Structure 1
Amino acid sequence: MKLTNRECEVARWVLRGHTAKQIARALSISPRTAEAHLKALMLKTRARNRANMAAHLLLKGLVEFSLEDLKGYGGEDEA
């Protein structure tokens, strides 16, 4: 399975715990577009929820992510 560059970007925001609305703001896309990317990721990973999707993405090595990616993350106010 191959992810698009945008799906990888969206996935990294999901791994940080962001909502579709926050992801949209961060990537300068509409919330509906962010939701479409999330739906594509859910379908590609055959996940039932975001936690399952995140685990699949990490375990299969589909997205590069480390604890360093969480540095400076202060919660839901950021994005």
Structure 2
Amino acid sequence: MRNVCDAILRKLRDAAAFNHASKDRLIAAYSRILGISEANLVWTYLNKRTHEEADRDDFDAEVVETVVQSLEALDAIELRRGR
């Protein structure tokens, strides 16, 4: 998941021809998500789904909130009129 987010962010930054009113908000949301350390467990859970395993640590609530807020920000961006 992190690699996908990283690739999307890279494309957004490199796409000089992509001029959209929401480009800065897209970049900000992906940058916020990618600001979470690669070593954080949230990436493991996003990649492999969440399920109860006794040997796994709990989520860091602050990191989860960052992910949720970033995903909500991405979802709220209108990329095409009416969508």
Verify same fold: TM over 0.5: no
Larger relative contact order (C-alpha < 8 A, sep ≥ 6)? Answer: 2
TM-score normalised by the chain length of structure 1: 0.32
- In the superposition, the TM-score normalised over structure 2's length comes to 0.31
Larger Rg: 2
